[in-house]
């Protein structure tokens, strides 16, 4: 199994180094892993003059899974847009056809105070948002700004989903639910938008293929409300690109600790790009204080979704739970009564717990 590691920029190299330690332990314990590294984003621009150079592209296409730190930094903000680090990220997602974005929002009981919501509402929260990433109103044609027949300027976009696009994200979501609590909530606005009425019809039809998963439907406005009112009612949520964009950010903030949240973007064969939900945090880069746990938990997602190795995924997640239970905290999740550690010490603690 080939894993390509893309450290990226800012805190990327520091946090990815900790995740790499975890991969090395799994390898030493018999997991058949081949690890390679390549630059992406600003680091790739510095070395090759492009944020997604051919060197990286070739290795990314050959890899079974990719682990990314994060890209971006203020020194690159004045570059022409096509050369900016974030373009490298968009380019690799498009190049590899990564249409399914999986973002878990998990609140470990030890971190319940980090949330802005009452501990009893969020403690033990464990939900997964599955967002379609390459369709919907973000990509639908026609789009633009024009002058209408009355001579007034207007902006317009097209919300559009083909049946095949709905089915392929549906399969990812139903199968993710099978690996978890077997509950899937499909979020739509079927009372107003035909595109999502169609979405609902296809999801309902697909449920026949997954009799072990309990499918429900919810309107997006209600879903936004329920996520803050009673988020623990959800197991897996599946939705389109625009609703998923908003709901996944809302869900991640329920936990209050951005340094803890992994994510996955998958293609049709479950090849995946795994990365923390946060950015490159240039403000704390190079200080050995970043939280590496989101990146380490991204490794667990890789084991679960690309390598189908649930036991190894849980081994990594249990190691993270163990260090939290031991009271170890990086600065971003530190509170009185716990022990503050740096980025590499946190990585070492996870390795010890493994
Ligand atoms: P950010 O997520 O990098 O940082 C937001 C805040 O959270 C900062 O105060 C930062 O110090 C803190 N933070 C983030 N990750 C942390 C961690 N692991 N441990 C401790 N604290 C952490 O978002 P931003 O400041 O808006 O963006 C910074 C750069 O990252 C920009 O160049 C942006 O374009 C880029 N970015 C990249 C990605 C990605 O690579 N997927 C995603 C978002 C932003």
Index of the ligand 1 atom closest to the CA of residue 70: 40
H/E stretch holding 20: helix 12-28
- Ligand 1 centroid to Cα of residue 312, in Å, is 28
All domains of the chain in start order, with CATH: 1-99+267-354 (3.40.718.10), 103-258 (3.40.718.10)
Q: Is the pTM of this model over 0.85?
A: yes
- Ligand 1 centroid to Cα of residue 283, in Å, is 9
- Ligand 1 centroid to Cα of residue 54, in Å, is 26
Question: What is the reported pLDDT for 110?
Answer: 87
Active site residues: 138, 189, 221, 245, 249
Question: What is the reported pLDDT for 339?
Answer: 97
Mutate to test the pocket of ligand 1, among 280, 288, 296 (most ligand atoms within 8 A of CB): 280
| Other Cβ atoms closer than 10 A to 94 | 12
The 8-class DSSP code of residue 287 comes to T
* Lining residues, ligand 1, CB within 6 Å: 11, 15, 70-73, 86, 89, 258-259, 275, 278-284, 290-291, 294, 332
- Ligand 1 centroid to Cα of residue 18, in Å, is 17
Distances (CA, A) of 130 to 185, 233, 245: 10, 16, 10
Q: What are phi and psi of 330, to 5 degrees?
A: -80, 170
Per run of 10 residues, the mean pLDDT along the chain (length 354 residues) is: 98 98 97 97 98 98 98 96 92 93 91 87 93 92 95 97 97 95 98 98 98 98 97 97 92 84 94 95 97 97 95 97 96 93 98 98
Mutate to test the pocket of ligand 1, among 17, 41, 273, 279 (most ligand atoms within 8 A of CB): 279
Question: What is the reported pLDDT for 44?
Answer: 98
Q: Rounded to an integer, what distance in angstroms lies between the CA atom of residue 249 and that of residue 281? A: 17
Index of the ligand 1 atom closest to the CA of residue 71: 40
Question: What is the reported pLDDT for 252?
Answer: 84
């Amino acid at each position: 199994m080939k894993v390509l590691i893309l450290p990226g920029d800012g805190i990327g190299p520091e946090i990815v180094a900790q995740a790499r330690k975890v991969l090395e332990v799994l390898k030493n314990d018999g997991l058949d892993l081949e690890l390679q590294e390549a630059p992406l984003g600003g680091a790739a621009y510095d070395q090759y003059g492009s944020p997604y150079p051919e060197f990286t592209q070739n290795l990314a296409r050959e890899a079974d899974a990719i682990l990314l730190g994060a890209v971006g930094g203020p020194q690159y903000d004045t570059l022409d847009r096509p050369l900016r680090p974030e373009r490298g990220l968009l380019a690799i997602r498009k190049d590899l056809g990564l249409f399914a974005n999986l973002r878990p929002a998990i609140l470990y009981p030890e971190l319940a105070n980090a949330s802005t919501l009452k501990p009893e509402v969020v403690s033990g929260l464990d939900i997964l948002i599955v967002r379609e990433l390459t369709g919907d109103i973000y990509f639908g044609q026609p789009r633009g700004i024009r002058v209408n027949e009355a001579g007034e300027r207007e902006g317009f976009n097209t919300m559009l989903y083909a049946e095949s696009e709905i089915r392929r994200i549906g399969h990812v979501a139903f199968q993710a639910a099978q690996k978890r609590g077997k509950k899937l909530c499909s979020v739509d606005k079927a009372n107003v938008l035909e595109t999502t009425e169609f979405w609902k019809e296809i999801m309902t039809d697909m449920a026949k293929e997954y009799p072990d998963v309990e499918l429900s439907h919810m309107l997006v406005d209600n879903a936004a409300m329920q996520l803050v009112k009673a988020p623990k009612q959800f197991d897996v949520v599946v939705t389109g690109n625009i609703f998923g964009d908003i709901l996944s950010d809302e869900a991640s903030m329920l936990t209050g600790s951005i340094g803890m949240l992994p994510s996955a973007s998958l293609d049709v064969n479950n090849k995946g790009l795994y990365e923390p939900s946060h950015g490159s945090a240039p403000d704390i880069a190079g200080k050995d204080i970043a939280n590496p746990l989101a990146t380490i938990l991204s490794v667990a997602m890789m084991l679960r979704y690309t390598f189908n190795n649930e036991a190894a995924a849980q081994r990594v997640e249990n190691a993270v739970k163990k260090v939290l239970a031991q009271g170890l905290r990086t600065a971003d999740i530190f509170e009185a009564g716990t022990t503050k550690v740096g980025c590499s010490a946190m990585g070492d603690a996870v390795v010890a717990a493994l």
